[in-house]
Structure 1
Amino acid sequence: MADRLNLVATIKDRANEIYKKVESLRSIKGRNQDAIMAACLYIACRQEEKPRTIKEICSVANGATKKDIGRAKDFIQKQLGLENDPSIQDMCTISAGDFMRRFCSSLGMNNQAVKAAEEVVEKIGELDIRRSPISIAAAIIYMITQLSEEKRLLRDIYLATGVAESTIRNSYKDLYPYASTVIPEWFAKDKDLKTLYSS
């Protein structure tokens, strides 16, 4: 699974450690092994500060559903006594910035656009936008690409992020009113911002 997500060796090693600990407790017999392995990988990604979405993990999990993986994650945390572990508690707090560079890279965005997207994500963190981090990341990417010479379609962003086109559109609508305050001036001037559409 880790290879299909192009994960680094430290994440694979961490996932193996977690799996071995759970396996040694002999408590996984009769459980969905694919979901257990996927949950170990999910936890390892978070602990190594290289988060992947449940949807991404699910895409390589040999038939385990998001629900299966979520249950397996909760089970593993309970079995290993990690419910109150600060690193696990912190791992639940992810931000749009955790996904930004990877998504931009998947879309082949140039360095300037990536830098602008990262600056926007920092400023957006100070606002009260009630959307999931991954939806915010996708909307920021859409906004930035609409201001660059390398425009991207909603479909391209959906394929890179896994966020539905309608969700990207709705998140974009929430971000649009803040465009002039969050988009760096070096990337887009006021006249450029007027080319953005509001809905």
Structure 2
Amino acid sequence: MIATDPTSMSYDEHGNPMYKNRRTISSADRALINAFREIGNMGDRLNLPKMIADRANNLFKQVNDGKALKGRSNDAIAAACMYIACRQEGVPRTFKEICAVSKISKKEIGRVFKLILKNLETNVELITTGDFMSRFCSNLGLPTSVQKAATHIARKAVDMDLVAGRSPISVAASAIYMASQASADKKNQKEIGDIAGVAEVTIRQAYKQMYPRAHDLFPADYKFHTPVEQLPTQ
């Protein structure tokens, strides 16, 4: 028999011994602890309030308890849960932004995100172009006038059904490109794509759909530095 040294034990508030042997923690509990730690780290790197990490933790536990995504990486599930929690709390982040603070690729986060929505009875609010516009323009160092014009352009393009099938992020990026090209603070497609997390070709394709109606997309009071007629055609 091997006796336990009582001086090495910790006790709870009721005087009961608390054992710290890792073998007493089940593998399921260990997976939860590790996932919650990873979610907390992602939240810290994104400078998000704790309530968003808490929501992501609850989502992860639902997925974990349901065993619907058995075989998927817990880190991928944690990243997708953080993405969903951000959207539900009204501070959406792109797949690229979640990817940057996790070990998971954008493609895998997107794949697991769809599986979670399919297997859990959870909803995410519809993302609009305006959700990203302020952050993207700020990160690009663009003035408020360009941001307002880009927001107007994106909304009008959607209302006029010019960008059917395009994601809100790609529409926002294309609208920023159009607005900036008409201003003195021009940004190219690569600069915008790096911030928005979309490929240059994606911006170019959406822009080409919008360009023929550019005259109708700008706000009536927009002060052009470069006239519409001189904007890039693609």
Asked if these proteins are the same fold (TM beyond 0.5), I'd say: yes
Counterpart mapping for 1:65-104 below 5 A: 65-77=105-117, 81-82=120-121, 85=122, 88=123, 91=125, 93-104=126-137
One-letter code of the match for 2:97?
Answer: E
Equivalent residues of 1:180, 1:190 under 8 A apart? no
Larger RCO (CA under 8 A, 6+ residues apart): 1
Unaligned runs of 5+ in 1: none
Structure 2 match to 1:58? 99
Change over 3 Å in CA distance of 1:69–1:189 after alignment to 2: closer
The range that moved more, 99-108 or 10-19, is: 10-19
Structure 1 match to 2:171? 136
Structure 1 match to 2:215? 180
Structure 2 match to 1:4? 45
One-letter code of the match for 1:7?
Answer: L
Q: TM-score, normalised by structure 2?
A: 0.71
Query: How far apart are the structure 2 equivalents of 1:14 and 1:76?
Result: 14
Structure 2 match to 1:116? 149
Change over 3 Å in CA distance of 1:105–1:10 after alignment to 2: farther
Secondary structure of the corresponding residue to residue 3 of structure 1: helix
Provide the aligned length of Structure 1 versus Structure 2: 190
Structure 1 match to 2:79? 38
Structure 2 match to 1:165? 200
Counterpart mapping for 1:140-155 below 5 A: 140-155=175-190
One-letter code of the match for 1:68?
Answer: E
Tell me by how many angstroms 1:113 deviates. 1.2
How large is the Cα RMSD of the aligned pairs? 2.5
Query: How far apart are the structure 2 equivalents of 1:118 and 1:184?
Result: 10
Secondary structure of the corresponding residue to residue 194 of structure 1: helix
Q: TM-score, normalised by structure 1?
A: 0.82
Q: Is the radius of gyration larger for structure 1 or structure 2? A: 2
Query: How far apart are the structure 1 equivalents of 2:160 and 2:101?
Result: 34
Tell me by how many angstroms 1:191 deviates. 7.4
Secondary structure of the corresponding residue to residue 102 of structure 2: coil
Tell me by how many angstroms 1:74 deviates. 4.2
Secondary structure of the corresponding residue to residue 92 of structure 2: coil
Query: How far apart are the structure 1 equivalents of 2:149 and 2:110?
Result: 34
